[in-house]
Amino acid sequence: MNPMFEAAQLDMPYLEAVPKREKSKVLKVWDTFQELRRLEQEEGMLIPVAYAAKVINVCRQRVDQLIADGRLSCHQVNGQRFVGGNSVEAYAKSERKAGRPFKRQVSKIPFVESPWAECVKMGKEAVQEAISGAK
């Protein structure tokens, strides 16, 4: 006999009278609950991804990015993705900057504090060159 069935019979003696197909369905549900229980002990409460987005006040796509970056832990159970409650709590407590980061200016032109003053300076230099070249 399958060891899975033997273990289930010890935990659930009422399964002896259930047909084999129904017994396997019950055992799959039982295994899923066992996996959820184990994950909950390791990660704290398991939160669906969409609800985690609401909790930490970001969009679902941002939660996917955080999972990809490894800042949130993600577990898949029966096709559903869950985020570990401990990682959500740690992220919510962390200090975050709001908004889009500044775009870095990459240009070949040096930064000038006052464009008008720079233009006046260049104009004076041009006039001086013109005067000295006319002599």
Q: What are the tens digits of pLDDT across the range 67-102?
A: 999 999 988 888 889 999 899 889 888 877 777 777
Helix (H) or strand (E) holding 21: helix 20-43
Provide the domain limits for residue 15: 1-43
Q: Please check whether residue 83 is in contact with residue 52, taking contact to mean a CB–CB distance below 8 angstroms.
A: yes
Low-confidence ranges of the chain (pLDDT < 70): 1-15, 105-113, 134-135
Is 22 a domain residue? Answer: yes
Query: Do the domain assignments include residue 65?
Result: no
Query: What domain count does the chain have?
Result: 1
- With b meaning 16 or more CB within 10 Å and e meaning fewer, what string describes 61-72? eebeebbeeeeb
Distances (CA, A) of 104 to 1, 97, 101, 107, 109: 66, 17, 9, 10, 14
pLDDT score at 29: 82
Q: Is 133 contained in some domain?
A: no
Let me know if residue 109 belongs to a domain: no
For residue 107, the model assigns a pLDDT of: 60
d(C-alpha 86, C-alpha 55), whole Å: 13
What does the pLDDT read at residue 50? 92
- Which residues partner with 75 through β-bridges? 82
Task: Judge whether 94 lies within some domain.
Answer: no
48 strand-pairing partners:
82
pTM comes to 0.54
Instruction: Evaluate whether residue 106 is within a structural domain.
Output: no
